[in-house]
Every structure is written in structure tokens, then in C-alpha cells.
Structure 1
Amino acid sequence: MSDPTPSGAGVAGISRRAFIAGTGSLLGAAALTGRAPAARAAVAATPIAGGAHVPVLVIGTGYGGSVAALRLAEAGVDVHMVEMGMAWDTPGSDGKIFCNTLQPDRRSYWLRTRTKAPLNYFLGFPIDRDIPRYTGVLDAEEFAGITVYQGRGVGGGSLVNGGMAVTPKRENFGGILPSVDANEMYDVYYPRANAGLGAGLVDPAWFDSTACYQYGRVGRKQAQRSGFPFVFVPDVYDWDYMKQEASGTVPKSALAGEILYGNNYGKKSLQKTYLARAAATGRVTVSALHKVTSVAPAPGGGYTVVIDQIDTGGSVTATKTVTADRVFFAAGSVGTSKLLVRLKATGALPALNDEVGKGWGDNGNVMCGRANHLWDPTGSLQSSIPCCGIDNWAAGGAFAEVAPLPTGIETFASFYLSITKNPNRAAFSWDAATGTVVLNWQTAWKQPSIAMAKTIFDRINATEGTIYRTDLFGVYKIWGDHLTYHPLGGAVLNKATDNYGRLTAYPGLYVIDASLIPGNTTVNPFVTITALAERNIEKIIATDL
């Protein structure tokens, strides 16, 4: 989850004798993807009424949808946002909005009765636990060959990521979005996105001295001894708050292991940035626990939208039909792709082109752990917010986030999430027999990612005399090749849409989220998603409204 650029760096085991200390590391390892909550809902939760007419309906409240809502509202347009997840503005019985990574409860997972942690084994034994079914913050959506982790709630993926705010290296941009002017992106829209998100770097001097980044310093030492560049990576965490956590003057958040299922204090999720600014316009409302099931042309113009309201057990409590002049699809790569594929196949939007559903990728995500020696402890206190990475993108096609294992005990383990130059792409399609949308990803397609990640870790292991951990993903399994945190594509820009996200067969329908990006950003993707949304909505406001 880091990137190879010092200015916006890129992507993101114990040895047998040291293994005793590692018993808690799997749950902590799950934390690698970093997750963030929001202290309160930024946008008024005002459920939409059946029969309502709105100028703009935005489906989803993640990065793309939040940008669209803010900029449209600033342009004087009233916007209603529809969010399948909860508002996440009410504390639980423990006084916290989100639960801790090491103690998942009903708030942790989306409509599951058992947790499905990204790193969910230790010594080959599963450690997931039973939980009550609830509309929790993290969705582990299972497809053939891959599990896709996604945020559920007002703020979307910003609730459940590590906050690594990475701008791709400029020389890589042509391979990410070839139809987009790189000069505009790097001169205007990336700076605008980073400012809007509140991205900032860790203080290097504090990093060098604080106990909570000892694991990062071990990662730096080992990377440099093997000849790899080590870079700091911007994040949207409030670094001043984290310093106060370390000094004991504020409630702990990153230093309490909060990441996988939300962060209660220091992380700048969208509820604290774009959505807060949208709310301040007075023109944006949101319906939480509402799921769009159909969008079709309305007889009198605009679009008829059918929405199911659900309760916290996932049951439909009401079905509403509303009309919108314009609709923005911002339900994330998976959500938007599934919805568009279904609407095309079932005849609601039959004129969508044949590129809908195609070009989906996992951003090359693959995980692994390494077993360090006893003389390389990584620290019992670890910040859950990653801030550094190892760069071998140009030579080996991989960038590795030095990820935390915030277990509260010494593990002597280093853990990594790699982003790789994996070329494989999948497609969503409609399965008429089951009435569902399926994805044709194959687990074997992760092999290029593993090979690319090995260009880093095989060398580090050889230099350090260490080994891979084999107990974190199953029995004797080294690589976490079963998941992605970074789903991208499915409604690719300038293919499924025009070059600004318009679904040209249907004037007034737009895509403005991660589904526009064809499978890989070379780094953590949310800054690129945000910047592309800033670019597209500016054009749409100028020419379409």
C-alpha cells in the first residue's frame, strides 16, 4: 500500500526459535490494510422518501462519490447520496464507534456470522470467531478465486484502509490512465486531491525515535542492507494526534491497534474531509442503509431509481422508487460493476456497451511475513498506520508496504503488503441461472504478483539469513494470494464510458469511482481515484449542467 516515490511513495515469521512470541500476530497482521472510522456522520442522515425527485443521486459515499457530491453542491446543485452501509455516528456500549482489531464484534463485518480476517491463521490453525450478523464496517466479499475487502458505511473505503495517500510516479501514469492528460493530473488534480484528503508525511525525526515505529526502522535497515530504496509514504492520519497518543495525552487510536475495523480518533476519513465540507454547503443529504437495485430511463425524462432500505440484520424493510435527473455510480469497483452488468443484462439499461464489466484487477496485491532473528525485535507497541515502503518497482515490478502487526506483544516478525505489476484482468458477467453477477478471477493469476514480490523478499531473506513465515495463511502457506484490498476496474474510462466517465448511451448517467481505473495504479489507489473524480466532475459541471 505504498509507492516508490519519496514525494508520495508508493504501494503498500519468526524463526522457529523466536516463534513463541508470535501467537497473536495473525490478528494484528490483518490490520495491515489499515482502516479508518469517522467520529460522527458528516452528512445529515435523511432517508429519501418514496416518490421523491432529486436533481442528482449519487450511489455510494466513497472517494469518487464524495468528490462529486462536494463539487456539485458547491456549484449550487442539490445532491442526495445513497449508502448501503451505516452512518457510523453512534458509539456502541463500549463508548466507541468502531471495535478493536483484536476483539472483533458485530461491528466488524458486513452481514457475516463469522469473521474473515485477511490474516486468519496461526501455526496453521484458523483463528476466526463467530459474531452476530450485523451491517458491520468491513465486507469480505467472496468471488471464485478471490476475496475482495471493501468498506461499508458513510465514507466507504476510507473507513477501512490504512490511509496511505500515494501519488503514482509520473513516469508510470501513462500505463494507468492512458487517455488522461498527465500534465493536468500532476499540476492540478493530484495536488487538489491530496489537499482535500489532508495527506501528510510522518516527521522523520519522530519516526527515528518513537517506539511505535521500531518495526518500520527494522524494515528500513533490512531493505537498505539488501540494496533496496526505502521511502516514507504520505498518509491521511493526523500525525500530531499520533504524537499525542504516544505521549499519553489523548485517547489512543493508531497506538491501540485500531485499523482493520475502523479508527476512532486520528484518521481523516472522508467523513472528516470531503463529506464534512459537502455537509457544510447545506445541499447534500444521505440515506444510509439504502441499496440501489435498479436504474432505468423514466418516462418523463431523468431516471427511475429503485432503492431497498435495509435494517442492521440485512433484511429489506421498504422498497422505494424515486426519480433523479442525473445519477452518478460511485459504489466502488465491485459495486458499480455488478450493478451496471446486471442493469445491462436484465434490460434496465440495455444500451450500455460491451466494455461494461471488463478490465477488473486486484492492483497486484499479495501479502507475506518474514521471521526475524531475536536480535531484530519489531516492538510490542506498533502504530497501526503504515508510513513506509520498499521500492523495487522498476527492476522487479513490486513495491512493498512495511505493514504493522499491532498485537501488543513482541512477534519478531516483519509483515508486508505488496503492490505488483500483475497484468491479469478479470471480467464481471451475468449468470442468468442464478440471477447473480459473477467474476472470473483465478487464484493462479496471482503467480506473477508472487514472483514480483519475491524479487524483494528472497533477497532480504538471503541477506539477513531469515525465512518466510508459513503459518499465517494456512498450513505451510507463505503467500497471501487469496484477496485484494484494492479492487479496480469494471467500467473502464474511455471504454465503458467516455473519457470523463459519461455512460454515453444514457445522457445524465456517470461513473465516478474506482471502476474507471483498469486494474492497477502501481500504488495505493485512493488518491488517484480522488484526483480522477476531481478532473471528471469539473468537466461535467462545466459542460453538462
Structure 2
Amino acid sequence: MNYDFDYLIVGSGFGGAVSALRLAEKGYSVGVMEMGCRWDPDKLPSSTWNLRRWLWQPSLGWRGFFKISWFRHVMVLHGNAVGGGSITYANTLLQPKPKVWREGSWAGLTDWESVMPGHYDTARRMLGVTENRILGPADELLREGAKEMGREDSYYRTQVGVFFGDPGDEPGQQYDDPYFEGRGPARNSCIGCGGCMVGCRYNAKNTLDKNYLYLAERQGAQVFAETRVVDVKPLGDAKDGSEGYVVTTASSSWMPGLWRRRRWRVKGVVFSASSLGTQKLLFELRDRGSLPNISNQLGRRVRTNAESLIGVRLPGKPEMDRGIAIGSGFYLDEHTHIEATRYPRGSDAMGLLVTALTRGRPDWTRILTWLRTVLLLLVRKPSKVLPLLSPFGMARQTVIFLCMQTLEGHIDMRYQRRWYWPFSKRMVSYGPRIPTYIPQANEFALKMARRLGGMAGSLITEILFNLPATAHCMGGAAMGKSAEEGVIDHRQRVFGYRNLYICDGSVLGANLGVNPSLTITALTEHAMSHIPAKCEVE
């Protein structure tokens, strides 16, 4: 049988890029289908106000790399580009505590605590993980806050995928490839502009198009940007995919006439479209009968790190935007840690979602408490509060606190018709509400605001709709002992099919409590290590 590729990979993020490189190194022909665009530094938006280049909403003609997906339980912030979420994520690459391998659906599937350290080491080397060298004003304020809370001993500089150059050299200096013995691209050292989440314009951020994906393309892997996968079916009479698959793709462009479809014959498929993207695609494929044997566990146990975005906005002209996107953090208690986060100067669009922080129960009464809080602020200090409620100047003036918890909790996703739009199906969230009010974190923000003479803030979606935001959507196609307990096995093979893998955030089986990018990378290294070289199977 003639195949277009040995393996076709859906998505080019932390799972897809790793899969592409490791499979290409083993002699397989590899095609990578990426819905988003390929970005060069000179094409990146200068600020988040450039919605056309920042947000991904092709129906409006916006072809950026940042996407917001809304559900009843959560607002998910994620990336969409060649290089996946690495283009817009905050560089943070932390290893979770060992106890996570003894929790959740993957517990006991293998000896994770012995297996994973080596893969984490490989992931750190490939992603250029190092300790942050640039502490900005926001990081220093966080250190002072940790000291006031009696938790200074837990304060840390983040582990990040950023190139800082040689000690003593001027920031922004160019170096020959510092990571891969000359096989990688030249790099420039970080200047601490805070622009990591709006796309690094200065060649310092270790995005996947500069490591895994860069090397994969030089091994022969082909990346097809602005291409989405719309169907995956087993080839021939074998319903389990043992003869391969036919994959149908279409342009991800919104423009009429560009929806031309193309079919690819491949031996195997790796789904790496992010937790949400993979879940949605697998729901569609199961629903239409293309892959009917996908486990009923699809969509179960979706986690979010129990996050809350809070902060303190300061009057005047402080430089809270200086540094890297997330430069430091500390543990408020055993289950809760807070990181200092920032956007670059002028990137204030997210300020449209920020309002005064409000105590109270996370129900409709909290709206009344919020109205009372805002009115009292306006009455008592109108000249001071009005500028702080404006989005303009938010990045420069705000210490953003990203609060994450390791406490267990999850929601489920289902694929169904909505009562108000019965003509199509979509993913819908179910289950207990995710906490939008973390009392100890909110008290920390209020205490910092009083000390600094600023205004504590939170997302207005948390108050009006009891809707938290997360950049760390995980699970939904998690591991299990069988199809009755999970969608994939511990080698990330889809139950019921041959040569069908899932390698992205959907496979995570427990709440990590930290950014999942490093763990997704390490788990994909683990999965790919079990696939033999092409010469061994032919």
C-alpha cells in the first residue's frame, strides 16, 4: 500500500513537536498538520491591542496565535500556531511534585517515579530550561509579600525556557546556536521586555520552532501551516487501523473558496491538538462513526490547576512590565502557590476583563458585593480609582498574581446540541463549579494593595459569571488500565486502535499544580521511546 506519510501528527505544540522529531529520527516520514500560522519575529503583534494579529478567530479575519474558548465552567486561554502554545505561553517549565504520579487515573500504570526523571532531563535539555536571571520590580514586590506572609523560604526564581546569554554580556547580543552543537538556529539573549506572552520579537524565547520542530524539519518532517484535520478513518477492511488511516484535511482559513479538502494515506496518527482540540476532534470522529471505538471516558476528568488571576494595580508610573513573563513565585501554603506575571508595556487588552477584587461567596450575591465595593471606592477616592479601572496602562502598573492549587477537582466535557442552537454539536462542560474565590490568595492581594497604596483586582468573569480563567486545561483523554477507565494506555496508545496515539495535555491524569508544558514534553518523550525505529519493523 502506498502511503503519503508513515505518521501524520495533528498539531505542533509540546506533544506534536516532540513526536515529529523523535519519529523522524527513527527513520519515519512525518507530516505535521497545524491549524495556526507560522510566525516570524517581524510579523508578531506589537501589542495585544492588535487583535487581528494577536487573537485566533478566523471567522472575523483574525489570524493571531492566542485563543479564548468559553464554557459554562471555565474560560480557557490557549495557543494556536506553528509551535503550538509555546509561541504565547509564559516560558515556565516546572516539574510537578512526585506525588502526582500516585494520584489520578495514571497511578500504578507503570513505575512513573523511576521512569520519568530521565525523560524530564531530556525535555529540560531540549527546551533549554534554566533559572530566571532577570528579576523585575514585580518579582521584588512578590518577594517582599512572601516575607510578610512568613513564607520567604519558599520564594523561588522560575525555571524557564529563555536564553540569557553569557554572564556579563550585554542583553540582546547574538550567539551561534547555544544548544545543539551548531545544528540549531542562532539566538539572542533576553532583554527583559516582558513580551513573552505576546510573542518574543527578540529571538530569546525557546519556542518549539527553535528546538524540537526546527530539528524535526531538518530531519525531513513537513509542517503544513493553516491546515486543520477534519476526519480520520481506518484504511481497508481493518477497523482497528492496522492497515493505516486516511486523514482528511482542509484549510483553516475563513475565506470562501479556501476550504479545499485533501486526503492523506498514513500508517499512523498522533493527536497533539491540545487538550481541547484533541477532545473536540475525537468527539467528532466518534460521533460520525469514523473512529467509533473511542472510549466513553473521552471528556472525563478535565482539570485546570484550580487557577485564579488576581493582582494589584499601582498608581503612578511603575515598571511592572520589566522582566520575563513569569519570573518568580512562592508557596502561600502546601497546596497554593503564586507567581508574578506580566505583559509588555502597552499590551493592555486583557485589562478590559479586570475589575476591583471582591470578597464574598461565589454566587449571585457576590455581584452585589462587587457593586458595593466599586461604588465605595469611587466615592472615597474617585481621582485615584477611575484611572485604575481603565485598561490603559494596565501592563505597566499591575503586579499580576497567577494563583494555582494542587487540590483535586475536575469537570467533564460532553459533545451535544445546545438548546438554543440545535443545528450542530459542540463541547459542553458539566460537573461541580471550579472555585473562583481562593480566600487565602485574595487576602494576600488585598494586603499587598493596602501596603503599596494600590487597588487589588480580579477578572470580572469570576464575579459576574462565577467563571474562572485557566491557561492550563488538562485531561479529557487520560490514561487508564483499559477502555473502561481511560482513553489511552500508559504508552499513550488509543484503546481499540493500532498506531493511534495521543500526545498533549489531554493525557494528563492528575492535577499538576504547575504549568504542564514540561510534563507534556516528558510524557511524549516517554511515549515515543517505545516506538521502534522504522528499520526494525520492516
| TM-score (norm. length: structure 1) | 0.76
Q: Secondary structure at the match of 2:531?
A: helix
User: Cα–Cα, structure 1 residues 54 and 542, in superposed 2: closer, same or farther, change >3 Å?
Assistant: closer
Query: Does residue 404 of the first structure (1) align with residue 355 of the second (2)?
Result: no
Report the Cα offset of residue 468 of structure 1.
8.2
* Equivalent in the alignment of 1:510: 501
Q: Which of residues 46, 59, 67 in structure 2 aligns to 1:100? A: 46
List per-residue Cα deviations over 1:453-494 (Å, max 9, x = no partner): x32441464487448846653399599953211111110012
Which stretch shows the higher mean deviation, 523-532 or 350-359? 350-359
CA distance in 1, matches of 2:454, 2:405: 19
Q: Match for residue 351 of structure 1? A: 293
CA distance in 2, matches of 1:172, 1:441: 24
Paired residue secondary structure (2:52): coil
Q: Is 2:55 the partner of 1:109?
A: yes
Q: Give the 5 Å matches for 1:33-52.
A: none
The Cα of 1:522 is off from its aligned counterpart by: 1.5
Structure 1 contact 80–285 (Cα < 8 Å) conserved:
yes
Amino acid in the other structure paired with 1:343: L
Check the 8 A contact 1:62/1:330 in 2, yes or no.
yes
Distance 1:337 1:385 in 2: 29
1:125: which partner in 2?
none
Distance 2:462 2:67 in 1: 27
Q: Distance in 2 between matches of 1:57 and 1:476?
A: 39
Partner of 1:174: 102
Report the Cα offset of residue 101 of structure 1. Answer: 2.9
User: Are 1:201 and 2:124 matched, yes or no?
Assistant: no
Q: 1:480 to 1:417 in 2, by over 3 A?
A: farther
**Residue of structure 1 in register with 2:272 after alignment:** 330
Q: Is 1:268 aligned with 2:268? A: no
TM-score (norm 2): 0.76
- Secondary structure of 1:266's match? coil
Residue aligning to 1:522: 513
The structural deviation recorded for 1:314 is: 8.2
Q: How does 1:284-299 map to 2 (within 5 A)?
A: 284-299=221-236
Structure with bigger RCO (C-alpha 8 Å, 6+ apart): 1
Which residue pairs with 2:184 in the alignment?
Answer: none
Highest CA radius of gyration, 1 or 2?
2
Question: Is the aligned partner of 1:70 residue 2:21?
Answer: yes
CA separation in 1, counterparts of 2:340 and 2:320?
16
Q: CA deviation at 1:174?
A: 2.1
Question: How many angstroms apart in 1 are the aligned matches of 2:58 and 2:459?
Answer: 20
Question: How many angstroms does 1:238 deviate by?
Answer: 1.1
Contact 1:493 1:501 in 2 (8 A): yes
Q: Does 1:225 align with 2:162?
A: no
C-alpha deviation, 1:428, in angstroms? 2.3
Aligned length: 456
Root mean square deviation of aligned Cα: 3.2
Distance 1:231 1:479 in 2: 34
Of 465, 472, 478, which aligns to 1:486? 472
Shift of 1:355: 0.8
Name the aligned partner's letter for residue 501 of structure 1.
Q
Deviation, structure 1 residue 59: 0.6
**Equivalent position amino acid for 1:436 in 2:** K
Q: CA deviation at 1:367?
A: 0.5
For residue 235 of structure 1, what is the aligned residue in structure 2?
A: 160
SS of the aligned residue for 2:326 comes to coil
Q: Does structure 1 residue 445 correspond to structure 2 residue 433?
A: yes
Q: What secondary structure sits across from 1:295 in the alignment?
A: strand
- How far the C-alpha of 1:370 sits from its partner, in A, is 2.5
Answer yes or no: is 1:342 the counterpart of 2:284: yes
> Is the partner of 1:450 in helix, strand or coil?
coil
Alignment counterpart, residue 139 of structure 1, candidates 43, 52, 67 = 67
Query: Which residue is 2:367 aligned to?
Result: none
* Conserved? CA contact 1:259–1:385, under 8 Å: yes
In structure 2, C-alpha distance between the alignment counterparts of 1:112 and 1:142, rounded to whole Å: 16
Deviations 1:196-222 (A, max 9, x none): 11111123xx64xxxxx1210111011
Q: 1:286 to 1:240 in 2, by over 3 A?
A: same
**What is the match of residue 160 of structure 1?**
88
Q: Secondary structure at the match of 2:443?
A: helix
Give the superposition deviation at 1:257. 4.0
Give the superposition deviation at 1:320.
Answer: 0.9
C-alpha change, 1:350 and 1:241, in structure 2 (3 Å) is farther
Q: Unpaired runs of 5+ in structure 2?
A: 175-186, 238-242, 347-392, 481-485
Mark the CA change 1:393 to 1:254 in structure 2 (over 3 Å): closer, same or farther: farther
For 2:262 and 2:315, how far apart are their aligned partners in 1? 60
Residue 239 of structure 1: CA displacement?
Answer: 1.8
Q: Distance in 2 between matches of 1:260 and 1:492?
A: 28
Superposed displacement of residue 323, structure 1:
1.2
